[in-house]
Structure 1
């Protein structure tokens, strides 16, 4: 399975009281994402507030995404928690029709890279779903551990959320030159918050595909930037970085949890009824929403100028 192009990580809309998923809004949001022609949908992951979903909600979110995609693009579902919990979510994702799973970091505990491989092995043994391992927080790989993942046939690749380009270069090089039969097909994805800021650096080390939270609320900006990077249009990429991405990242960095909450506020700004975030995340105050509105306007203007 190849995942070329932008990767969509849809939001999970909630009702005004946060008591339930806003199901019609979810389907509308998914349809908007699919209209932007992503390479895949990754639902109920970080941006989709995986940790805030009840098991029944999770299963229906995944099933809704599968129905919306209707085979046009693969649907990956977030799975995580401890090893047994991750197995249970993987089973639910498979029952809902998902094409694969993004294995989120183990809950709370830290271990060694070798220990992480065993965690992946434990989850992979219980499901036929293809897995992508999300490296961040308590899940940190090294070159030897990543090469060991090649021996797990259902593990497709690694999504990096750490941002250590030197470490990723070592990992990519170790895998590609390992001599393993799966070395050339193993996937590496850039999964940093506002991954566009690091797209050029990651592309240079052989990691061109990236997730885009911006795709969820201003797809015209996200797709224009991706096109510029893919065609080496430095002028357009620079204009969008200056007008939108750098100010957006600066605002995102002001408050923990804004990698989700600010994105959801952006979706509300452009008319998507996605509701607020569930605790412990916090919605942005009016002054931050006003700054975000100005950033969105500047990004759209930059697209028109390009």
Structure 2
């Protein structure tokens, strides 16, 4: 499964009594689908995968599959040790998911060769297509990346590290490997607020990217995506200056704000997504007010553009 275009990573809403709110989640998904993404990646990082119980995970994935109703692919996060990740993968398959995003193994650091064996173990537990999320303690080298081509269900790499030089080496190693699957293998830009790096990643052959902003300001996210695709440099630079760079500066104010601020933005849009679960912390009232100003500034800039 090779996706092209903008990717949605929906939030997981929690009620005031800390239950997953599936009704709000369904509304959130419909809003995301209306924005026209290439795929829904549920119960992943933005969806607080690590904070969900096995039953909650099942409910979230099953709801996404039901709401999507074949309109676009549903990719479910899975992670932990190889056995645990395999169990989540099996649950996602039972719920009808179209693919998996394999998150880094919890805490454990190893070699790229060890990571490759971990991926083989998870792939053996499911027939679903797998995209490998490279970030934190899950780092591939060229040999391990090419080794992924021998695992038939591994269809791509999502990069969350931001090392363009290293990513270029992986892309080049795979594309020039001579392997029968080399040309079809997918690469995704999965950096937090990927809009800041999309132009650099496009230059090395990674055009598809995830957008957390799509969760709370789909008008800005889709307009930016159109501007990038059309080569509208004025619109890209304006939206970066007026919205994305201020948003990232605020995002960097506290660890975990890559999720917390997105939830705050969704609340500001009128969606009752609730709080984040520990160890994440919610955005402070001051930061939420600042975010509202950034969104307003971004929309004012967007209104003056033709995109």
TM-score normalised by the chain length of structure 1? 0.99
- Residues 2, 156 of structure 2: 8 Å contact kept: no
Equivalent residue, structure 1, for 2:183: 184
Query: Given the alignment of the two structures, is residue 76 of structure 1 paired with residue 75 of structure 2, yes or no?
Result: yes
Task: Give 3-state SS (helix, strand or coil) of 1:137's partner.
Answer: coil
Task: Give 3-state SS (helix, strand or coil) of 2:20's partner.
Answer: coil
- Matched ranges for 1:256-275 at <5 A: 256-275=255-274
Give the Cα–Cα distance (whole angstroms) in 2 for the partners of residues 64 and 167 of structure 1: 37
Equivalent residue, structure 2, for 1:135: 134
Query: Given the alignment of the two structures, is residue 110 of structure 1 paired with residue 109 of structure 2, yes or no?
Result: yes
Equivalent residue, structure 2, for 1:95: 94
Q: CA deviation at 1:17?
A: 2.8
Task: Give 3-state SS (helix, strand or coil) of 2:197's partner.
Answer: helix
Query: Given the alignment of the two structures, is residue 231 of structure 1 paired with residue 234 of structure 2, yes or no?
Result: no
Equivalent residue, structure 2, for 1:9: 9
Give the Cα–Cα distance (whole angstroms) in 1 for the partners of residues 250 and 103 of structure 2: 25
Task: Give 3-state SS (helix, strand or coil) of 1:38's partner.
Answer: coil
Task: Give 3-state SS (helix, strand or coil) of 1:27's partner.
Answer: helix
Q: CA deviation at 1:2?
A: 2.8
Q: CA deviation at 1:130?
A: 0.5
Equivalent residue, structure 1, for 2:287: 288
Q: CA deviation at 1:134?
A: 0.2
Give the Cα–Cα distance (whole angstroms) in 2 for the partners of residues 43 and 16 of structure 1: 21
- Matched ranges for 1:197-216 at <5 A: 197-216=196-215
Give the Cα–Cα distance (whole angstroms) in 2 for the partners of residues 98 and 23 of structure 1: 17
Q: CA deviation at 1:145?
A: 0.5
Q: CA deviation at 1:302?
A: 1.4
Equivalent residue, structure 2, for 1:220: 219
Query: Given the alignment of the two structures, is residue 36 of structure 1 paired with residue 42 of structure 2, yes or no?
Result: no
Give the Cα–Cα distance (whole angstroms) in 1 for the partners of residues 287 and 10 of structure 2: 22
Q: CA deviation at 1:152?
A: 0.3
Q: Which runs of 5+ in 1 are unaligned?
A: none
Give the Cα–Cα distance (whole angstroms) in 2 for the partners of residues 305 and 67 of structure 1: 38
C-alpha RMSD of matched pairs (Å): 0.6
Query: Given the alignment of the two structures, is residue 164 of structure 1 paired with residue 163 of structure 2, yes or no?
Result: yes
Give the Cα–Cα distance (whole angstroms) in 2 for the partners of residues 273 and 84 of structure 1: 34
Task: Give 3-state SS (helix, strand or coil) of 1:114's partner.
Answer: helix
Q: CA deviation at 1:104?
A: 0.3
Give the Cα–Cα distance (whole angstroms) in 2 for the partners of residues 254 and 98 of structure 1: 35
Give the Cα–Cα distance (whole angstroms) in 2 for the partners of residues 303 and 57 of structure 1: 38
- Residues 6, 37 of structure 2: 8 Å contact kept: yes
Give the Cα–Cα distance (whole angstroms) in 1 for the partners of residues 110 and 85 of structure 2: 17
Task: Give 3-state SS (helix, strand or coil) of 1:188's partner.
Answer: strand
- Residues 149, 181 of structure 2: 8 Å contact kept: yes
Q: CA deviation at 1:23?
A: 1.2
Q: Which runs of 5+ in 2 are unaligned?
A: none
Give the Cα–Cα distance (whole angstroms) in 1 for the partners of residues 287 and 98 of structure 2: 37
